[in-house]
A and B are shown apart, each in its own frame.
Chain A
Amino acid sequence: DTGVSQDPRHKITKRGQNVTFRCDPISEHNRLYWYRQTLGQGPEFLTYFQNEAQLEKSRLLSDRFSAERPKGSFSTLEIQRTEQGDSAMYLCASSPVGGRSHRYTFGSGTRLTVV
Protein backbone atom coordinates (compact mmCIF):
# COMPACT_ATOMS: atom_id res chain seq x y z
CA ASP A 1 0.00 0.00 0.00
CA THR A 2 1.81 3.07 -1.25
CA GLY A 3 -0.98 5.50 -0.46
CA VAL A 4 -2.56 8.02 -2.82
CA SER A 5 -0.09 9.74 -5.13
CA GLN A 6 -0.64 13.08 -6.78
CA ASP A 7 1.44 14.67 -9.48
CA PRO A 8 2.71 17.33 -9.71
CA ARG A 9 3.07 18.60 -6.15
CA HIS A 10 3.19 22.20 -7.31
CA LYS A 11 2.14 23.89 -10.52
CA ILE A 12 2.55 27.54 -11.46
CA THR A 13 0.77 28.58 -14.61
CA LYS A 14 -0.17 31.74 -16.42
CA ARG A 15 -3.79 32.79 -16.57
CA GLY A 16 -5.49 31.31 -19.59
CA GLN A 17 -3.31 28.22 -19.80
CA ASN A 18 -4.61 24.67 -19.38
CA VAL A 19 -3.35 22.41 -16.62
CA THR A 20 -3.78 18.72 -15.88
CA PHE A 21 -3.25 16.93 -12.58
CA ARG A 22 -2.93 13.21 -12.01
CA CYS A 23 -4.03 11.06 -9.09
CA ASP A 24 -3.08 7.43 -8.50
CA PRO A 25 -5.37 5.96 -5.82
CA ILE A 26 -4.76 2.96 -3.62
CA SER A 27 -5.11 0.07 -6.03
CA GLU A 28 -7.86 -1.79 -4.14
CA HIS A 29 -10.02 1.33 -3.76
CA ASN A 30 -12.99 1.60 -6.11
CA ARG A 31 -13.97 5.13 -5.12
CA LEU A 32 -11.99 8.22 -6.05
CA TYR A 33 -12.73 11.83 -5.09
CA TRP A 34 -11.41 15.26 -5.99
CA TYR A 35 -11.59 18.11 -3.50
CA ARG A 36 -10.32 21.67 -3.63
CA GLN A 37 -8.98 23.57 -0.64
CA THR A 38 -8.39 27.30 -0.55
CA LEU A 39 -6.47 29.17 2.12
CA GLY A 40 -8.19 29.11 5.49
CA GLN A 41 -10.96 26.80 4.33
CA GLY A 42 -11.64 23.12 4.52
CA PRO A 43 -11.67 20.86 1.48
CA GLU A 44 -14.64 21.33 -0.85
CA PHE A 45 -16.06 18.47 -2.88
CA LEU A 46 -15.56 18.62 -6.64
CA THR A 47 -16.37 15.19 -8.04
CA TYR A 48 -16.58 11.48 -7.29
CA PHE A 49 -15.95 8.31 -9.27
CA GLN A 50 -16.90 4.76 -8.58
CA ASN A 51 -14.64 2.69 -10.79
CA GLU A 52 -14.66 4.53 -14.13
CA ALA A 53 -18.07 6.12 -13.70
CA GLN A 54 -18.25 9.75 -12.65
CA LEU A 55 -21.30 9.66 -10.39
CA GLU A 56 -21.46 13.14 -8.93
CA LYS A 57 -20.14 16.59 -9.76
CA SER A 58 -20.30 19.74 -7.68
CA ARG A 59 -21.65 22.94 -9.18
CA LEU A 60 -18.21 24.33 -8.27
CA LEU A 61 -16.98 22.31 -11.23
CA SER A 62 -17.59 24.77 -14.06
CA ASP A 63 -17.41 23.72 -17.69
CA ARG A 64 -13.71 24.61 -17.63
CA PHE A 65 -13.10 21.64 -15.35
CA SER A 66 -13.15 18.03 -16.48
CA ALA A 67 -12.20 14.86 -14.68
CA GLU A 68 -11.68 11.38 -16.00
CA ARG A 69 -10.88 7.99 -14.59
CA PRO A 70 -10.24 5.70 -17.54
CA LYS A 71 -10.38 2.00 -16.71
CA GLY A 72 -11.16 2.80 -13.10
CA SER A 73 -7.52 3.28 -12.15
CA PHE A 74 -5.75 6.65 -12.09
CA SER A 75 -7.67 9.88 -12.54
CA THR A 76 -6.91 13.21 -14.18
CA LEU A 77 -8.37 16.62 -13.44
CA GLU A 78 -8.00 19.20 -16.20
CA ILE A 79 -8.66 22.90 -15.86
CA GLN A 80 -8.94 24.83 -19.11
CA ARG A 81 -8.35 28.57 -19.45
CA THR A 82 -7.18 28.90 -15.86
CA GLU A 83 -8.22 31.93 -13.82
CA GLN A 84 -6.62 33.40 -10.72
CA GLY A 85 -9.57 32.13 -8.67
CA ASP A 86 -8.52 28.59 -9.54
CA SER A 87 -5.44 28.95 -7.33
CA ALA A 88 -5.89 26.35 -4.61
CA MET A 89 -4.74 22.99 -3.31
CA TYR A 90 -6.35 20.17 -5.30
CA LEU A 91 -6.72 17.04 -3.20
CA CYS A 92 -7.46 13.55 -4.41
CA ALA A 93 -8.74 10.81 -2.12
CA SER A 94 -9.76 7.21 -2.50
CA SER A 95 -11.77 4.76 -0.43
CA PRO A 96 -13.00 1.20 -0.67
CA VAL A 97 -16.60 0.29 -1.30
CA GLY A 98 -18.47 -1.08 1.69
CA GLY A 99 -18.22 -0.56 5.41
CA ARG A 100 -15.03 1.46 5.34
CA SER A 101 -15.96 3.69 2.42
CA HIS A 102 -16.05 6.70 4.75
CA ARG A 103 -12.35 6.30 5.49
CA TYR A 104 -10.86 8.40 2.77
CA THR A 105 -7.14 8.25 2.15
CA PHE A 106 -6.02 11.61 0.83
CA GLY A 107 -2.99 12.36 -1.26
CA SER A 108 -0.69 15.25 -0.41
CA GLY A 109 -2.33 17.42 -3.03
CA THR A 110 -1.31 19.53 -6.00
CA ARG A 111 -0.89 23.21 -5.23
CA LEU A 112 -1.91 25.33 -8.21
CA THR A 113 -0.87 28.96 -8.49
CA VAL A 114 -2.29 30.97 -11.39
CA VAL A 115 -0.34 34.15 -12.09
Chain B
Amino acid sequence: DQQVKQNSPSLSVQEGRISILNCDYTNSMFDYFLWYKKYPAEGPTFLISISSIKDKNEDGRFTVFLNKSAKHLSLHIVPSQPGDSAVYFCAASVYNFNKFYFGSGTKLNVKP
Protein backbone atom coordinates (compact mmCIF):
# COMPACT_ATOMS: atom_id res chain seq x y z
CA ASP B 1 0.00 0.00 0.00
CA GLN B 2 1.33 3.36 -1.04
CA GLN B 3 1.20 5.52 2.08
CA VAL B 4 3.00 8.44 0.48
CA LYS B 5 2.03 9.58 -3.00
CA GLN B 6 3.47 12.01 -5.48
CA ASN B 7 0.94 12.21 -8.25
CA SER B 8 2.98 14.31 -10.66
CA PRO B 9 5.77 12.27 -12.23
CA SER B 10 7.28 15.36 -13.84
CA LEU B 11 7.26 19.14 -13.71
CA SER B 12 8.84 21.68 -16.05
CA VAL B 13 9.49 25.26 -14.91
CA GLN B 14 11.27 28.25 -16.35
CA GLU B 15 14.40 29.45 -14.59
CA GLY B 16 13.60 32.15 -12.03
CA ARG B 17 10.00 31.05 -11.53
CA ILE B 18 8.54 29.12 -8.62
CA SER B 19 8.54 25.30 -8.58
CA ILE B 20 5.84 23.66 -6.47
CA LEU B 21 6.10 19.94 -5.81
CA ASN B 22 3.25 18.17 -4.07
CA CYS B 23 2.95 15.12 -1.86
CA ASP B 24 0.00 13.40 -0.16
CA TYR B 25 0.00 10.84 2.62
CA THR B 26 -2.60 8.56 4.08
CA ASN B 27 -1.23 7.54 7.48
CA SER B 28 -2.23 9.98 10.21
CA MET B 29 0.49 8.54 12.48
CA PHE B 30 3.21 10.16 10.38
CA ASP B 31 4.71 13.06 12.27
CA TYR B 32 7.91 13.86 10.44
CA PHE B 33 8.34 14.65 6.76
CA LEU B 34 11.34 15.18 4.52
CA TRP B 35 12.22 16.04 0.98
CA TYR B 36 15.17 14.40 -0.76
CA LYS B 37 16.75 15.38 -4.04
CA LYS B 38 18.32 12.85 -6.36
CA TYR B 39 20.62 13.37 -9.32
CA PRO B 40 21.24 10.51 -11.80
CA ALA B 41 23.77 7.91 -10.63
CA GLU B 42 23.79 9.33 -7.11
CA GLY B 43 21.94 8.46 -3.93
CA PRO B 44 19.21 10.77 -2.63
CA THR B 45 20.44 13.75 -0.61
CA PHE B 46 18.55 15.36 2.26
CA LEU B 47 17.01 18.71 1.35
CA ILE B 48 14.60 19.92 4.03
CA SER B 49 12.38 18.54 6.77
CA ILE B 50 9.32 19.48 8.80
CA SER B 51 7.80 18.12 11.96
CA SER B 52 4.05 17.82 12.39
CA ILE B 53 4.05 20.51 15.07
CA LYS B 54 4.87 23.08 12.39
CA ASP B 55 3.12 24.08 9.20
CA LYS B 56 6.07 25.71 7.46
CA ASN B 57 9.84 25.40 7.38
CA GLU B 58 12.22 27.49 5.28
CA ASP B 59 15.81 26.99 4.25
CA GLY B 60 17.05 29.51 1.74
CA ARG B 61 15.21 29.06 -1.55
CA PHE B 62 13.36 26.01 -0.25
CA THR B 63 10.17 26.08 1.80
CA VAL B 64 8.11 23.09 2.88
CA PHE B 65 4.46 23.53 3.82
CA LEU B 66 2.47 20.97 5.78
CA ASN B 67 -1.33 20.78 5.87
CA LYS B 68 -2.14 18.08 8.40
CA SER B 69 -5.89 18.20 7.96
CA ALA B 70 -5.49 17.55 4.24
CA LYS B 71 -2.56 15.18 4.76
CA HIS B 72 -0.65 17.16 2.18
CA LEU B 73 2.77 18.71 1.96
CA SER B 74 4.43 20.77 -0.70
CA LEU B 75 7.92 21.96 -1.52
CA HIS B 76 8.36 25.44 -2.97
CA ILE B 77 11.59 26.40 -4.71
CA VAL B 78 11.96 30.12 -5.35
CA PRO B 79 13.61 31.12 -7.60
CA SER B 80 14.17 27.91 -9.51
CA GLN B 81 17.60 27.36 -11.02
CA PRO B 82 18.77 24.90 -13.71
CA GLY B 83 20.87 23.12 -11.06
CA ASP B 84 17.63 22.24 -9.26
CA SER B 85 16.76 19.85 -12.09
CA ALA B 86 16.57 16.46 -10.36
CA VAL B 87 14.10 13.94 -9.01
CA TYR B 88 12.50 15.02 -5.74
CA PHE B 89 11.16 12.48 -3.26
CA CYS B 90 9.00 13.23 -0.28
CA ALA B 91 9.20 10.87 2.66
CA ALA B 92 7.34 10.41 5.92
CA SER B 93 8.07 8.72 9.22
CA VAL B 94 6.85 8.29 12.71
CA TYR B 95 9.11 10.12 15.10
CA ASN B 96 11.64 7.38 15.76
CA PHE B 97 12.97 7.75 12.18
CA ASN B 98 13.63 4.01 12.00
CA LYS B 99 12.18 3.96 8.53
CA PHE B 100 10.80 6.35 6.03
CA TYR B 101 8.05 5.81 3.51
CA PHE B 102 8.92 7.44 0.21
CA GLY B 103 6.78 8.72 -2.61
CA SER B 104 7.54 7.71 -6.18
CA GLY B 105 9.24 11.01 -7.00
CA THR B 106 8.71 14.03 -9.21
CA LYS B 107 11.25 14.82 -11.89
CA LEU B 108 11.80 18.58 -12.00
CA ASN B 109 13.23 20.19 -15.12
CA VAL B 110 14.20 23.84 -14.80
CA LYS B 111 14.66 25.36 -18.22
CA PRO B 112 17.25 28.13 -18.70
What 6 additional pairs, Cβ within 8 angstroms, besides A42-B89, A55-B98? A42-B4, A42-B105, A45-B100, A102-B34, A106-B43, A108-B43
Question: Taking beta carbons and an 8 Å cutoff, which residues of A are in contact with B?
Answer: 4, 33, 35, 40-45, 48, 55-56, 58, 91, 93, 95, 101-109
Q: Which residues of A contact B63 (CB under 8 A)?
A: none
Question: Taking beta carbons and an 8 Å cutoff, which residues of B are in contact with A?
Answer: 4, 6, 9, 32, 34, 36, 41-46, 49, 89, 91, 93, 97-105
Q: What's the nearest-Cβ distance from chain A to residue B108, in Å?
A: 15
Cβ contact of A4, chosen from B32, B43, B91, cutoff 8 A: B43
A-B contact count (CB 8 A): 56
- Contacts A42-B91, A95-B97, A108-B41 known; A102 to B105 CB distance under 8 Å? no
A-B pairs, 5 with minimum CB distance: A42-B102, A106-B43, A45-B99, A102-B97, A101-B97
Q: Which residues of A contact B99 (CB under 8 A)?
A: 33, 45, 48, 56, 58
Q: How far is the CA of A103 from the CA of B100 in the complex (A)?
A: 11
Q: What's the nearest-Cβ distance from chain B to residue A35, in Å?
A: 8
Cβ contact of A42, chosen from B42, B98, B103, cutoff 8 A: B103
